[in-house]
Amino acid sequence: MSGLDPMGRMEVRNLIRELKSSGKTVFFSSHILSDVEALCDRVVMLHKGRKVAEGTVEDLVGKGGVRYVELVLSPVPPTECLSAAGLPESAVSVQGDSLVLRAADHEQANGWIERFRSAGSLVRSCIPVKQHLEDIYVERMGEEDLHGIGGTGASGTGAGDGGTGGGRVG
């Protein structure tokens, strides 16, 4: 579907959904994992001809599917308050007069909200960032490369590498 214009993509998605609702099974192969996630019930991910993940979309991305919670607080709390919070450096960035934090989960986000609200900051946004099939694929490719199974190279989406992902609809 990557070569289609937006209307063509919508028509193909609708056709696949119609086939699914009529009880048909469709095998769908694509490097566009957002399409796989939107259309498929079950997924098999391949890398260089080897299966690296298999399951339902829900099983692979998790039922809640939250990778992290992004908080935006303003104004930036005083330096001593930030230091006392013991925030991991990778979880903190300052953008203008706002502090952007990446909390590992809702519990951590709530703790940070309490701490920084008491220091005078306001919560401008609190957004759970979902995990997607693309995140799973990238994570698994990192594991494969670490263990020497997948090797290194391009994104793993080139022709002849055994594909990226695909799934069964219906």
Domain ranges for the chain, please list them.
25-62+131-169, 66-130
Query: Tell me, what's the pLDDT at 83?
Result: 83
Provide the b/e sequence for 1-30 (b: ≥16 CB within 10 Å): eeeeeeeeeeeeeeebeeebeeeeeeebeb
Query: Tell me, what's the pLDDT at 157?
Result: 36
Indicate the fold that domain 66-130 takes in CATH.
Alpha-Beta Plaits (3.30.70)
Query: Tell me, what's the pLDDT at 24?
Result: 94
pTM over 0.85: no
Query: Tell me, what's the pLDDT at 61?
Result: 87
78 contacts: CB under 8 Å, gap ≥ 6: 119
For the chain (170 residues), the mean pLDDT of every run of 10, in chain order, is 89 94 93 92 90 90 81 90 85 92 92 91 93 87 62 37 57
Query: Tell me, what's the pLDDT at 99?
Result: 92
